[in-house]
Amino acid sequence: MTEPLVTFERVEKRFDDFVAVKGATLDIGAGEFVAIMGPSGCGKTTTLRMLAGLDAPTSGTIRIAGQVMNDVPAHERDTPMVWQSLALFPFLNARENVEFGLKMRGVGVSERRQRAMTWLDRMEIAEFAERNVETLSGGQRQRVALARALVTEPKLLLLDEPLSALDAHLVIRMQSVLSRLQRELGITFVYVTHSQSEAFAMADRVVIMSQGEIAQVGTPREVYRAPRSRFVAEFVGRNNILPGEVVASHQGMVSVQTPLGTFNVQGDAAPGTSASIVVAADMMQVGGGENRLTATVISEEFVGSMVTAFLEASDGTELKVQVQERALADLGLETGREVSLGWNTADGHLLVDETP
Amino acid sequence: MRRLNAYALTFRLPIIIWQALFFIGPLIFVVAMSFFVVKNYRMVETFELTSWAKMISRDYVWSAYRYTLVMAGSAAAIASILAFPAAWFLAFRCSARARQVALLLLIVPFFTSYLVRTFSWYTILAEAGVLNGGFALFGLGPFKMLNTPFGTLVGYLTLVLPLVMILQTVTMANIDTRLVQAARNLGCTPARTIWSVILPAGKTGFVIAALFAFILSFGDFVAPFYLGGSNPPTMPILIIDTTKAGQQWPRAAVVAVMMMLTLFSIAFAAIVYSYRKRASR
């Protein structure tokens, strides 16, 4: 990574007794698209608000471009935010909303009007410039909010679940708008979301938070294929988790004994360690693989060309298999039927349980 | 056409009857009375423009009208400005619980008769009163405060200030604080958010609060009479004086109708202004 634009150093935020963010340490590079994700109340929005100066950290240091930001008030930062509620000013029209940041910075009337129009045009909503924002559609309002945040040409854009209020088809559309904008502008996006698909679709790196702590930082692929904790493995979803105990370890390969059998996985852990094997649902094979077990089909979830089948093993462990819809019939994945599942050793991932 | 719903009508009827009996009825009567004439100290029911012609041609009526407009307008403006910092504090810097307590305390003044509260100003504003006693310590005064326009204003504010403060507090407490934060996020200083976000976002509430202050002051008789010494007279005092002088009820009715027309047009203008949305193309 190049010189980081944003650094968090053991940042902590308390609200009375509640610790919203615990000892967060994180670097965000210039021009990076970072998604912070996690369940509700994990501290992701607080982290973003601290970057904007809307909440002050209780301890630790936040730097932007090398400068310590802890005591810089919100209005002296250039960290515009796109809000979950959009927070457009209802008493201003679309153009005046976009002009707001420029007006606050003392930009003259004609220049700020022209710059606002340039952005509205870029967001393809110039024709609605004089419209009351309350009469615009969700997607148009979203674009006004983006134009309003970007018109001051910041180095860092903060986005707080900006797409959560949009219809599904608009979400996909706005994702590509955001990705393209970020590439074209080359500025840093910090994007808070609870949606894995949004984060994985757009972000260079994802930060997964749980109960105020950063659980894992990595590329979407790393987080998905190599979760570092059970929380991450469960949060990123569609993972099969088989808990057990390491019984043998030999040259980068360990055997883990689980209630469903003893399976091999790449990794390193001393015998006696409690550990789990994680197998992504799309790595599970029906009737194949080097590690085998049997399970009964419970139900299916159909999402377009892919189908996720939910199965139950003999001890009640829930398993998931993702297969092509057109292959479904050939595989015999009918509800109530017992099938053989398996995966190749290289596709499994060893997860050593954290010592309590 | 919707069918007449007996159920809905049952619940609406009382308010319709009430309004008809005690508002529209008297209103029609007052308008009608302004066309009556007085002969030999007796009111004659007729339709003549005598009283209107008399009152409209008199300078003292118009100077009383202008004075009442200016005084009620000043009371509305001063009350709005004086109430704002306190209401802002209650809305944005207090816990919801503290705000509830404060709003309750702001209602307490209404428990006491307005007349009693007005008379209590006597001891404070009199030549030998509390305020002048304080000024005397610094070798100042005594200032004449009773029986002056200042006294009238003090009386108006006694009437309207708690109400304006309550309305402004509720208005600001309902402003989405995320709008204020969004403004700060876009480079707006905390002081500037008042002008750039809070005033425009709460426009309707602020205008309604000022309108209430204006209406109550415009029609108030107690403050200009007891604290302003009827000098110069306001419109309500003109009504009293006119009825006392030779039983001129029709002329008093003319003044009353003038006042009502003024209040209707100002209230209408204020409400249209405060609810006006941006033109949408």
| C-alpha distance from A89 to closest chain B C-alpha (Å) | 7
Contact between A85 and B178 using a beta-carbon 8 Å cutoff: yes
Res B280 pLDDT > 50: no
Contact between B185 and A79 using a beta-carbon 8 Å cutoff: yes
Res A308 pLDDT > 60: yes
Residues of B (226-265) whose Cβ lies below 8 Å from A: none
Strands A188-193 and A156-160: parallel
| C-alpha distance from A19 to closest chain B C-alpha (Å) | 21
Structure tokens at A176: 């590509």
Chain segment A195-243, per-residue pLDDT in tens: 888 999 999 999 999 999 999 999 999 998 888 888 998 888 778 899 8
**pLDDT for position B222:** 94
Which phi and psi (to 5°) does residue B224 adopt?
-65, -25
Q: Which domains does chain A have, with CATH numbers?
A: 4-225 (3.40.50.300), 238-352 (2.40.50.100)
**pLDDT for position B16:** 87
Res B279 pLDDT > 50: no
Domain boundaries along the sequence of chain B:
58-275
Contact between A91 and B201 using a beta-carbon 8 Å cutoff: yes
Per-residue pLDDT band at B238 (split at 50, 70, 90): very high
A145-154, A268-277, B74-83: segment of lowest average pLDDT: A268-277
User: For residues A96 and B42, which has the higher predicted lDDT (pLDDT)?
Assistant: A96
- Residue whose structure tokens are 């802890």: A70
Q: What is the mean pLDDT of residues A316-339?
A: 83
Decide: B76 and B167 in contact? Cβ < 8 Å. Answer: no
Quick one: CA dihedral A87, A91, A97, A103, positive or negative? negative
Q: Is B134 on the interface with A (CB under 8 A)?
A: no
Kind plus residue range of the DSSP H or E element containing B11? helix B6-19
Res B12 pLDDT > 60: yes
User: For residues B61 and A287, which has the higher predicted lDDT (pLDDT)?
Assistant: B61
Report pTM: 0.84
Give the CATH class of B58-275: mainly alpha
Res A186 pLDDT > 70: yes
* Nearest alpha-carbon partner for A266 in A239, A290, A237, A293: A290
Q: What is the mean pLDDT of residues B111-134?
A: 89
Per-residue pLDDT band at A356 (split at 50, 70, 90): very low
Q: Which residues of chain A neighbour B185 with C-beta distances below 8 Å? A: 52, 54, 74-75, 79-81
Structure tokens at B220: 């108030």
Which phi and psi (to 5°) does residue B5 adopt?
-95, 115
**pLDDT for position B185:** 96
User: What's the one-letter identity of residue A160?
Assistant: D
Residues of A (71-90) whose Cβ lies below 8 Å from B: 73-76, 78-81, 83, 85, 87, 89-90
Decide: A245 and A274 in contact? Cβ < 8 Å. Answer: yes
* Nearest alpha-carbon partner for B258 in B94, B75, B106, B55: B55
Which ranges of chain A does DSSP label H, i.e. alpha helix?
Answer: 44-52, 94-104, 109-122, 138-150, 168-185, 196-202, 220-225, 230-235, 328-331
Contact between B200 and A91 using a beta-carbon 8 Å cutoff: yes
Please enumerate in sequence order all residues whose Cβ is within 8 A of that of B9, keeping only pairs 6 or more positions apart, or say none: none
